[in-house]
Amino acid sequence: MLFRKVVSDDNSQLVIFIEDSFDFSAHQHFRNAYGEYNEVGGTIIVNLSKTTYMDSSALGMLLLLKDHVEKNNGKLVIAKPNETVNNILEIAQFHRLMNIEK
Amino acid sequence: MTNSMTKSLVKLALVVEDSPVQCEILSKLLQEEGYKVHTANDGARGVAAYIEYQPDLVLMDINMPIMNGYEAARKIKSISQKNSLCPLIFITSLDTDQAFIESIEAGGDGILVRPFSPDVFKAKIKSIQRISDLYGELKAFQLIQQKDAQLAEQLMTEVIESRNYGLNKIGMIQKPAALFSGDIHLTALSPNGDVHAMLGDFTGHGLRASIGAIPVSETFTSMTKKGFSLLEIITQINQQLYSLLPADLFLAASFASISSYEKTVCIFNAGLPDTYIFDRHGEVKHKIKSSHPPLGVLINLLSDFSFKAVRVDLSDRVVLLSDGIIEARNVAGEMFDIQRFEQAAKRGVLQGDICDIVLNSIAEFCQDVPQKDDLSLIDIPCHGWDQAFVNDNEIARHKSLGHITPFKNNTIAAWRWQLSLTGERLSRVNPIPMAMNQIKEMEGHAQHWQNVFTILTELYINALDHGVLALDSALKNSPEGFSQYFLEREKKMKALSAGELSLHLSYFPLDIGGQLNITIKDSGQGFDIEAVRHKLSMKKSDLSQLSGRGILLVEKLCDSLIYKKKGTVVEACYLWHI
C-alpha cells in the first residue's frame, strides 16, 4: 500500500492516490490523508487507478470518509477503479451511496 | 498475573564465564542492579543452568572450555524462543567485526567489549532489559488478542450458530481464517413451514467483527419464529445495525426464504457475491446479484430495492456464499473465482455434497497458501420443508371434533382482539405476528397455534392482495407471471394511500379445547363468491395449480369458512381439543 495526496492551490480539491492493496492496514494512513482537509464545499477525490485490491475494511473507510465530506458540505468522488476493484464496489452497491467515476 | 508480578520484582541473571574473577565482578555489578545471580563456568553448564533457573538475562563469555559461548547461545535461544525473549549479551575481549557478527548470528542481543567501566556495563544492562520488557508486554497483548479471536469464533459457532434449524438437511461450510473474519450462518423455521437462511460477512476481523452477531442472530431467529416476513426481518436488522455499529462497520449478507409448499424462493442479496439456484443437474438456474448496499450503512433500506422471487422445482438447491470462497488465492496469486466455484458446485450437486466438493476443490487450488478470509457457504434443498406444516392426519383429528357445537357470535367470548389498518400503514405493518403474540400471551404456547398462523396469514394476504390491492391471482399460474405478480404487488404496496383492512379475533375456551373465530374485512371490490368456489372445487383434483392452494388448505383446517358481502368479509372458525 502506497499513499500520496495532492491538494490543489486554491484548496478546493484533495486527491488521494492509493496504490497496491487497499485494506485494513491502510486505516491510519487513510484517515491522516483527509483528516486535516476541512474545506467547506471542497471536493475529495479517491483515485483508485493503481489500486489492485480492496477489502471490506476499505469499504468501511470510504464510508467514514463520506461522513467527513458530508460534514463539510463537500463532494466525494471515487475515481478510476480497475475491474477487480469496481467489481467489489459493485457487489457492495456503493454507487448507490457515492459518486463513482470509471 | 501473580507469577509475572513476582518475577518482575526479583530478576534473575545467569553469568556463564570460565574465569572465577570475571564471574565475581559481573555478579557483583548485577547484584547492584537488583538481580539475583547464578553462575556457570562453561557453555554446557550454562545451558543446564539456563534450563534450571529460566533467567531474565544471560551474560555469556565467548571463549570457554567444553562448549564455547556461540554454541551455548544457540542452544539457549532454541529453547527460549517459545516462551519469552531472554536477552543474551556476549562479553568478550575480541574487538573485531567478526566477533560482533558471529555473536549476533548465534542469537546474541548485544555485545560488550572489555575493558568497560561499571557505568557502561550497567547502562547496557538497563537498555537491554527495557527491550526485553517491551517484548514481554507485546507478547501479553498478543495473547489477549488471540484469546479474543478465539472467543469471537467460539461465540459464533458454539453459541449463536448452534441454534440453527434443519442442519441435517442444510449443508454448511464454516471455515474461519486464522484471523477469524466474522462470517455468520443462520437458519430458522417460520411457523408456516418456510425456512429462512442468512449468510453474513461483517467488516473487519476478530472480536470487532463479531459484536454485531448477537443482535443479528437474536432478531433473525426470534422474528422468523414469530412469523415475520423476510422483508420485515431485514428492515429490523438493518436499523439495529445502523444504530449499534460505528460507520465503518457493516454486514454484507444474503437472505433466502424457501417455501417447499409454494415452490418459491425469495432472495435478498445485500453486498455478497451472487446467490445461486442450481437445478438437480447442477446447472445454474438463477444467479441473484447484490442489489443493495450492506446492512447497517443506511438508516432505512433504499426505497427502490427489490426482492428476487423465483419459482423453483423441489429438486433445486439454493446456495449462499461469501467472498472468501471466490477470492481464495493460490501460490501464483490467482483467485479461485466464479468459474471454478460453479464447476465444483456442479460436481457437488451430482455427487450429493456441494460443501465437500467445493472445499476439496479450494484446498486443491490453494495448496499450502494460508487461508486469508473465512470460507462460508450455505446449501439448502428446496424440498423437505413441509414437516412443520400441518399434515392430513392432523387435519382429520381436528375434523373429528364435529360433535362439539361451536359457539355462535352472540355468546360472550373470553376475550376479543381487533386491529384495523388503513392506507400507507397497510404496506408497512404486518398484523399477523402481533395477533399471534396476543394469542400466545393470553393462552400460552401450543402446537395448534401453527394452524392458526397459517389460517390468519392466508386469509390476510388474500384480503390484502386480491381485496385492497386488487391483484389478479390468475397471474401466478405461470412461472413468468409469478415474478410479474410480485413486482406488481411491490409497486402497488409502495403507492398504497387508501384502503382499509380489519382483523377481528374472539376466543372461546371449551371443556376439551377451544374455539377461535376470525373475521377479516377489506375495503376492496369483492368477488363473485360462487364462481370462485366453483373454480376451487375444480382445483381440488389438480393440486399442481399454482394459485388457490392456500385457501384450500385453510378450508381443510377450519371448522367453517364463510365469505360474506360479496367476498369482502371472511369468517373462519377454528376448533381444537387438548
> What's the CATH number where A48 sits?
3.30.750.24
| Shared domain check, B399 and B376 | no
User: What integer pLDDT is reported at residue B6 of this predicted model?
Assistant: 41
Asked if pLDDT for residue B336 goes beyond 90, the answer is yes
> What's the CATH number where B131 sits?
3.40.50.2300
Asked if pLDDT for residue B8 goes beyond 60, the answer is no
Residue B387 lies in a domain: no
B367: closest CA of chain A, how far (Å): 22
| Shared domain check, B334 and B408 | no
Residue B540 lies in a domain: yes
pLDDT tens, position by position, B260-308:
888 899 999 999 999 999 999 999 999 999 999 999 999 999 887 778 8
- The residue from B321, B347, B381 where one domain ends is B381
Q: What is the DSSP letter of B407?
A: P
Asked if pLDDT for residue B57 goes beyond 70, the answer is yes
- The residue from B381, B406, B430 where one domain ends is B381
Please report, as a single letter, which amino acid is at residue B494: K
Task: Tell whether A31 lies on the interface with B, counting CB pairs under 8 A.
Answer: no
B451: closest CA of chain A, how far (Å): 40
Q: Using the beta-carbon criterion (under 8 Å), do B290 and A64 form an inter-chain contact?
A: no
Nearest to B220 by CA among B181, B265, B264, B268: B268
> What's the CATH number where B179 sits?
3.60.40.10
Task: Tell whether A60 lies on the interface with B, counting CB pairs under 8 A.
Answer: yes
From CA B122, how far away is CA A44, in angstroms rounded? 54
| Shared domain check, B420 and B363 | no
Residue B151 lies in a domain: no
A60: closest CA of chain B, how far (Å): 4
> What's the CATH number where B477 sits?
3.30.565.10
pLDDT tens, position by position, B183-231:
899 999 988 889 999 999 998 777 777 888 888 999 999 899 888 889 8
- pLDDT tens, chain A, 102 aa long: 677 888 998 999 999 999 988 988 888 889 989 999 999 999 999 999 999 989 888 999 999 999 999 999 999 999 999 998 999 999 999 999 999 998
Report helix, strand or coil for B518. Answer: strand
Name B517's Cβ contacts closer than 8 Å, sequence gap at least 6: B407, B409, B413, B504, B505, B506, B507, B508, B571, B572, B573, B574
Q: Which residues of A touch B291 (CB under 8 A)?
A: 93
* Overall domain count for chain B: 3
Residue B157 lies in a domain: no
Q: Using the beta-carbon criterion (under 8 Å), do B205 and A24 form an inter-chain contact?
A: yes
* Overall domain count for chain A: 1
Radius of gyration of chain B (CA): 36
Domain of B221 in residue numbering reads as 164-381
Residue B367 lies in a domain: yes
Q: Using the beta-carbon criterion (under 8 Å), do A60 and B292 form an inter-chain contact?
A: no
- For testing contact with chain A, the best of B248, B251, B289, B301 (most A CBs within 10 A): B248
Q: What is the DSSP letter of A47?
A: E
From CA B44, how far away is CA B54, in angstroms rounded? 15
- For testing contact with chain B, the best of A22, A52, A56 (most B CBs within 10 A): A56
| Shared domain check, B295 and B190 | yes
Q: Which residues of A touch B292 (CB under 8 A)?
A: 93, 96
The shortest CB-CB distance from B204 to any of A57, A64, A91 is to: A57
Q: Is the Cβ–Cβ distance between B329 and B369 less than 8 Å? A: yes
SS (H, E, C) B268-310: EEECCCCEEEECCCCCEEEEECCCCCCECCCCCCCCCCCCEEE
Nearest to B268 by CA among B337, B214, B314, B199: B199
Cell 534450563 belongs to which residue?
Answer: B51
Q: Which residues of B touch A93 (CB under 8 A)?
A: 270-271, 290-293
Q: Which residues of B touch A (CB under 8 A)?
A: 201, 203-205, 247-250, 252, 270-273, 289-294, 297-298, 302, 323
State the average pLDDT for chain B. Answer: 85
Crossing angle for the helix pair B337-351 and B354-366, to the nearest 10 degrees: 140
pLDDT tens, position by position, B235-259:
999 999 999 888 889 999 999 999 9
Q: Using the beta-carbon criterion (under 8 Å), do A97 and B298 form an inter-chain contact?
A: yes
Cell 390484502 belongs to which residue?
Answer: B464
Please report, as a single letter, which amino acid is at residue B501: L
Q: Using the beta-carbon criterion (under 8 Å), do B248 and A64 form an inter-chain contact?
A: yes
Four-residue CA torsion sign, B311, B317, B318, B319: negative
Please report, as a single letter, which amino acid is at residue B410: N
- The residue from B329, B352, B381 where one domain ends is B381
Q: Using the beta-carbon criterion (under 8 Å), do B323 and A63 form an inter-chain contact?
A: no
User: What integer pLDDT is reported at residue B494 of this predicted model?
Assistant: 84
Domain of A30 in residue numbering reads as 2-101
| Shared domain check, B114 and B7 | yes
| Shared domain check, B440 and B421 | yes
Task: Tell whether A15 lies on the interface with B, counting CB pairs under 8 A.
Answer: no
Asked if pLDDT for residue B4 goes beyond 50, the answer is no
